[in-house]
Structure 1
Amino acid sequence: MMLHSREEIVHITKQLVHMESVVNTDGEKTIASSLYSIISNYPYFRGHADQVFLQPTANDSMERYNVLAFVKGTKGNSNRTVILMGHLDTVDTFDFQHLQHVACSPEELMEHLKEEQLPSTVKADLESGDWLFGRGALDMKSGLASHLYLLKYYANHPEELEGNLLFLAACDEEDSSHGILSAIPLLKSWKREQGFEYVAAINSDFVAPAFAGDENRYIYKGTVGKLLPTFLVLGAETHVGSCFEGLDPNFIVAELTNHINYNPHLCDEAHGEMTHPPVSLKQTDLKPAYTTQTALAAYVYYNFFTHSWSPAEVLETLKGEAYIAFERAIEKLQQRYQQFGQLRGKSPAPLGWKPRVLTYEEMENRLIEEHGEPFIQHMQAFKDFLLQQENLDTRLFSVYVVEEAWKWMTDKTPAIILFYASLYSPRVDLSEDNEKEATLIKALEKAVTEIQPNYSHPLVTRNFFPHISDMSFVAIRDSQADIQAVTQNSPSWGSKHVVPYEDIRDLNIPVINIGPYGMDAHKRLERVEMTYSFEIVPNLTKRVIELLGM
């Protein structure tokens, strides 16, 4: 029987949207405290206060919290446990511009939008009565509201639950995942102390059309992986009046981006599904101020999605691509030097530059071999100095570490140093070869078949959720050697950030995403379709829980 969930989930969603919780602001702390109070006041938790938690994040420069709660079913004595997971934070509201003051007030925002010039499709959604607008309405407070509704339902009806239902609302999903990473040790301890047998995690992040005119509503059996490969280019500085006597690192970085950006040959395919190609997220040099000298160093980093490639494979591939780009840059520079010489009636000799590409691990090993303990101690002291700058971005922290290490190189001829400048979000998928994962696949497929007649648009399963999400941190496919390729090539590892990959491996919870459907996430016209999100999503999630033997 379908639950009549819409009205209550609409109310919860609006309540959560009204609590502005932009990532890296005090709003994350405020919403966590409010949500903790809401759950604590449910009758079940008034009698089980030790089963609801406000958990501070670890190794975090900010004060913020996760909210966790669990219901123990009374239908039987099973320790089987399903996690309902989501995040509390949103992106900022600057994109709302003159409507920023109502970005988190859905009713007021929608009234204002009626006076705006809108695309016809958006106007139709606004007038339909089936769409809710506002920051976080789609990503992902409606998904969190659906989970909260189910937590409350089972708290009121523990006799319908065989096993345990665990609710996890994490902070900081939109930036550095401090929330889910802080929750992992707690989930691991409950596995031991509470006897929890984690059979599945159900995330409720938003889903959207895969292409224009796509009417499918997607459910995902895993998630894309994400890396941030970064290239620090060390050139040879010169005065602008003698520009061919040096090698401008910006010139090489530009060739790197021309070669890597949007390159379909760098898409990763698995299970018939393809990642988006790499795209640059930042590109700049390290000159602190204007001078008439060319830059000594420049860097660029790219978003890199994976479905099957390991971090080691990505490094190997991109090292080769960087070498090709370096060669092309040198060839282009030589051609222009020749043309410049001809214009001046001269035949200049070859410039003599050679491409050189090293991974951070290769450079660091070379420097340790050459300089030993003095280098190690110096770099640790330098990292400690950087850590005193609490607001220093992890990406820039990594760049500064590589730049500092380069100063110890004996051979300072131009080079590209390749490394990872942020945490690795592992790719996750489900396999029929694993008993727990096969059980979840079967439960999901049966639930979709049963719920489909209640909704007019197709419910379609895919393997990889196409956006970065906290699903990456509840299971892992990579070997220890694969993870070592990350840690050995991440300059900030162990100081600016640490990920408990081995704890994640110990948990290895099969994870799927059943999330609200909508449009324009992270944009000012962000909106969620209520029929699917507030009726189908909670009922589909509940049916999966039941079919898992809960």
Structure 2
Amino acid sequence: MTDIAERARHWAIWLTRFASVTGTEGERALPAALAARLREDPAWRGCEIWLVPIPDDRLGRSCLAALARGTGGETLLLTGHFDTVPFDDYADLRGLATDPEPLRDALLQRLRNPANPAEELARADLASGSFLPGRGLLDMKAGLAAALAAMEAFLLQPRRDGNLLFVAVPDEEVNSVGARGLGEAMPKLLEEHALRLVGAINLDCIGDRGDGRVGRSVALGSVGKLLPTALVIGQPTHASHPLQGINAAAIAGAIAARVEWAPELADGADGEAGIPPTLLSLKDGKRHYDVTTPDSCFACWNVLTMGRPAATIFAAFEGLVTDAVRTLAASLAERQLRASAQPHSPPAIEVLHVSAILAEIAEDPEAAAALRETAERLAREGLSLPDQNERLTLAAWTLTGRSGPAVIIGFGSLPYPHVRLGGGEAACALESAIAIAREQMRVGSGVEIGLQAHFPGISDMSFIGEADVTSVAFIAGNTPAWSSGVRWSGQVIGTPTVNIGPWGRDYHTPHERVETGYAFEILPRFLLEVAQARFAGATR
């Protein structure tokens, strides 16, 4: 095993053992602990190391920055998140969830009689010795570790062209507070350190159920994400007299069925088929069981984007909702005729933008103040952004004094802009460096590293890369908790960005595991090759 691989493994295990679940004290404490560790390590002598506080963060979190200087001002950013999802799902192995080597032995014991193909594959992987488990090891501390090892190798070089800036950020798993905070801080950071950012490598993992050919890839962009929502207001009635009202749950169900996998919301690009939308949550507003039909329901959908503006997607979503409620209304009218033998017109179910409701509230200073107070309280309580937006939309509707039936559509969370390499000089130079490094790895190590147009999931690339943020104002206007909960200016770093990270399987599950040969042996060297090729191109 080469020295660079030993160092990558060392940092991967150290980082994994430092539990850093999003929103916990461990997440807050890790940057300072890593800074102290780097400062006492001889390999990092001469490296500038500091913390970048997240502005106005209620939990007091920060990023860890380390700068390895060479010649000139050109700088390549290596970045990734250090927070993880919780590890309660490990059950009786919870105490080993962040200790990779003992966890491997314990999981092999647990999986000695696998119950399904997923468990059979997990057992085979762990028994092979080629995979190492641990919460956050794949997603994505092995990526951070590879960058740290590459930085150490860079520092050993007698002549160094360019600069490597390593930044580990918190909170990718929830609201990307770390990457967004870094975006706000980056202009001042670059000025203070006399740096010129020429590109970035995000270090996130790629899942691969096969032999790693998909996982060993460079992603030249990332899908974006929107979270359209619908608050349905019904006309509640006693269940013995259903014809005297309109059930909010029935309306919501009709909308959910119409939107699920709707091709109108599948946004493809660069020859890739769009990923269809899917329902993430559907719940009524009742807090207890009774025999009154629900007066409200709230639903939200996952919509992944590759190019279309938010307003275009929102218009398509509105069309689906409108079609669903009209179809349902006609069906209910027909059923009422059969049940009562009385002719009945279809009920009018209005579809409104939440921005229109908020504009109406803004004209009443007393109502506007009440809604702001509610927004601030919900944010302090730490509710999820979808829950904050649900309650604020309902509060705004109530303040208007209107009655249902109606559907109020909006957005329920932070948007993740889609990103791709642009056509500028810096983006072309980074893409060229990647091509050179891929060929060097193929010839020198016999490893084929592929290309993907898009990283297959949402990531911090949205706030680092060349994102189109022209839709942010439209999204903000239809997100009630924008100012109180989302709190994003729309600023991104805006540098050419790709993803180069480890591969493995089953992240966010107790069988999360990284393929160690690529993560420790190949990935650090490949990152270094990309950096050297990028800076060599700048000095020729």
Q: Which category of TM-score, normalised to the shorter sequence, fits these structures?
A: over 0.9
Paired residue for 1:449? 439
Cα distance between partner residues in 1 of 2:469 and 2:34: 37
Q: Which of residues 490, 502, 520 is equivalent to 1:516?
A: 502
Question: Counterpart of 2:504 in structure 1: which amino acid?
Answer: G
Please tell me whether the aligned partners of residues 333 and 347 of structure 2 are also in contact (alpha carbons under 8 angstroms).
no
Change (3 A) 1:99 1:336: farther
> Offset of 1:476 from its aligned partner?
4.2
> Offset of 1:411 from its aligned partner?
4.3
Secondary structure (helix, strand or coil) at the match of 2:198 reads strand
Paired residue for 1:149? 149
Q: Which of residues 374, 378, 382 is equivalent to 1:382?
A: 374
> Offset of 1:509 from its aligned partner?
0.7
Question: Counterpart of 1:103 in structure 2: which amino acid?
Answer: A
Change (3 A) 1:47 1:120: closer
Cα distance between partner residues in 2 of 1:96 and 1:263: 36
Cα distance between partner residues in 1 of 2:11 and 2:164: 19
Change (3 A) 1:276 1:490: same
> Offset of 1:193 from its aligned partner?
2.4
Cα distance between partner residues in 2 of 1:468 and 1:314: 17
Determine if the alignment matches structure 1 residue 491 to structure 2 residue 488: no
Please tell me whether the aligned partners of residues 236 and 293 of structure 2 are also in contact (alpha carbons under 8 angstroms).
yes
Change (3 A) 1:213 1:143: closer
Question: Counterpart of 1:374 in structure 2: which amino acid?
Answer: E
Change (3 A) 1:330 1:347: same
Moved more, 54-63 or 176-185: 54-63
Paired residue for 2:128? 128
Paired residue for 1:253? 252
Please tell me whether the aligned partners of residues 58 and 178 of structure 1 are also in contact (alpha carbons under 8 angstroms).
no
Map 1:152-171 → 2, pairs under 5 A: 152-157=152-157, 159-171=158-170
Paired residue for 1:233? 232
Please tell me whether the aligned partners of residues 53 and 60 of structure 2 are also in contact (alpha carbons under 8 angstroms).
yes
Identity fraction in percent: 29
Paired residue for 2:357? 363
Please tell me whether the aligned partners of residues 235 and 296 of structure 1 are also in contact (alpha carbons under 8 angstroms).
yes
Paired residue for 2:323? 324
Paired residue for 1:55? 52
User: What's the CA shift string for 1:164-197, capped at 9, x where partnerless?
Assistant: 2111001111111111122222211022222321
Change (3 A) 1:454 1:337: farther
Change (3 A) 1:487 1:83: same
Cα distance between partner residues in 2 of 1:232 and 1:539: 51
Please tell me whether the aligned partners of residues 466 and 497 of structure 2 are also in contact (alpha carbons under 8 angstroms).
no
Cα distance between partner residues in 1 of 2:104 and 2:334: 58
Paired residue for 2:294? 295
Q: Which of residues 61, 81, 86 is equivalent to 1:87?
A: 81
> Offset of 1:547 from its aligned partner?
1.3
Change (3 A) 1:212 1:353: farther
> Offset of 1:491 from its aligned partner?
0.7
Cα distance between partner residues in 2 of 1:367 and 1:126: 58
Cα distance between partner residues in 1 of 2:518 and 2:376: 50
Cα distance between partner residues in 2 of 1:182 and 1:476: 16
Q: Which of residues 398, 401, 406 is equivalent to 1:415?
A: 406
Please tell me whether the aligned partners of residues 281 and 302 of structure 1 are also in contact (alpha carbons under 8 angstroms).
yes
Moved more, 329-338 or 122-131: 329-338
User: What's the CA shift string for 1:13-67, capped at 9, x where partnerless?
Assistant: 111111111111112123223211111223475555xx21123322322233221
Please tell me whether the aligned partners of residues 55 and 66 of structure 1 are also in contact (alpha carbons under 8 angstroms).
yes
Moved more, 308-317 or 116-125: 116-125
Please tell me whether the aligned partners of residues 430 and 437 of structure 1 are also in contact (alpha carbons under 8 angstroms).
yes
Cα distance between partner residues in 2 of 1:161 and 1:416: 60
Determine if the alignment matches structure 1 residue 38 to structure 2 residue 6: no
Cα distance between partner residues in 2 of 1:83 and 1:470: 13
> Offset of 1:6 from its aligned partner?
1.8
Moved more, 346-355 or 134-143: 346-355
User: What's the CA shift string for 1:71-94, capped at 9, x where partnerless?
Assistant: 211xx3x21011110111111112
Question: Counterpart of 1:251 in structure 2: which amino acid?
Answer: A
Q: Which of residues 499, 516, 519 is equivalent to 1:533?
A: 519
Determine if the alignment matches structure 1 residue 426 to structure 2 residue 454: no
Cα distance between partner residues in 1 of 2:466 and 2:411: 18
> Offset of 1:420 from its aligned partner?
1.2
Please tell me whether the aligned partners of residues 503 and 518 of structure 2 are also in contact (alpha carbons under 8 angstroms).
yes
Question: Counterpart of 1:150 in structure 2: which amino acid?
Answer: A
Paired residue for 2:105? 111
Question: Counterpart of 1:92 in structure 2: which amino acid?
Answer: P
Change (3 A) 1:82 1:213: closer
Gaps of 5+ in 1: none
Cα distance between partner residues in 2 of 1:265 and 1:477: 23
Question: Counterpart of 2:346 in structure 1: which amino acid?
Answer: G
Cα distance between partner residues in 2 of 1:535 and 1:350: 72
Please tell me whether the aligned partners of residues 219 and 455 of structure 2 are also in contact (alpha carbons under 8 angstroms).
yes
Paired residue for 2:459? 469
Change (3 A) 1:351 1:176: same
Change (3 A) 1:90 1:275: farther
Question: Counterpart of 2:50 in structure 1: which amino acid?
Answer: F
Change (3 A) 1:97 1:336: farther
Please tell me whether the aligned partners of residues 85 and 201 of structure 1 are also in contact (alpha carbons under 8 angstroms).
yes
Cα distance between partner residues in 2 of 1:79 and 1:490: 40
Secondary structure (helix, strand or coil) at the match of 1:163 reads strand
Change (3 A) 1:458 1:164: closer
Paired residue for 1:460? 450
Determine if the alignment matches structure 1 residue 500 to structure 2 residue 495: no
> Offset of 1:214 from its aligned partner?
6.8
Question: Counterpart of 1:547 in structure 2: which amino acid?
Answer: A
Please tell me whether the aligned partners of residues 138 and 516 of structure 1 are also in contact (alpha carbons under 8 angstroms).
yes
Please tell me whether the aligned partners of residues 227 and 305 of structure 1 are also in contact (alpha carbons under 8 angstroms).
yes
Moved more, 303-312 or 380-389: 380-389
TM-score, normalization: structure 1?
0.91
TM-score, normalization: structure 2?
0.93
Secondary structure (helix, strand or coil) at the match of 1:114 reads helix
> Offset of 1:410 from its aligned partner?
5.2
Paired residue for 1:99? 93
User: What's the CA shift string for 1:380-406, capped at 9, x where partnerless?
Assistant: 2332333442x2222211111111111
Cα distance between partner residues in 1 of 2:335 and 2:295: 21
Change (3 A) 1:11 1:213: closer
> Offset of 1:152 from its aligned partner?
2.3
> Offset of 1:528 from its aligned partner?
0.8
Question: Counterpart of 2:54 in structure 1: which amino acid?
Answer: T
> Offset of 1:546 from its aligned partner?
1.0
Cα distance between partner residues in 1 of 2:54 and 2:453: 30
Question: Counterpart of 2:174 in structure 1: which amino acid?
Answer: D
Change (3 A) 1:458 1:250: farther
> Offset of 1:268 from its aligned partner?
0.9
Please tell me whether the aligned partners of residues 4 and 535 of structure 1 are also in contact (alpha carbons under 8 angstroms).
no
Question: Counterpart of 1:451 in structure 2: which amino acid?
Answer: M
> Offset of 1:318 from its aligned partner?
0.6
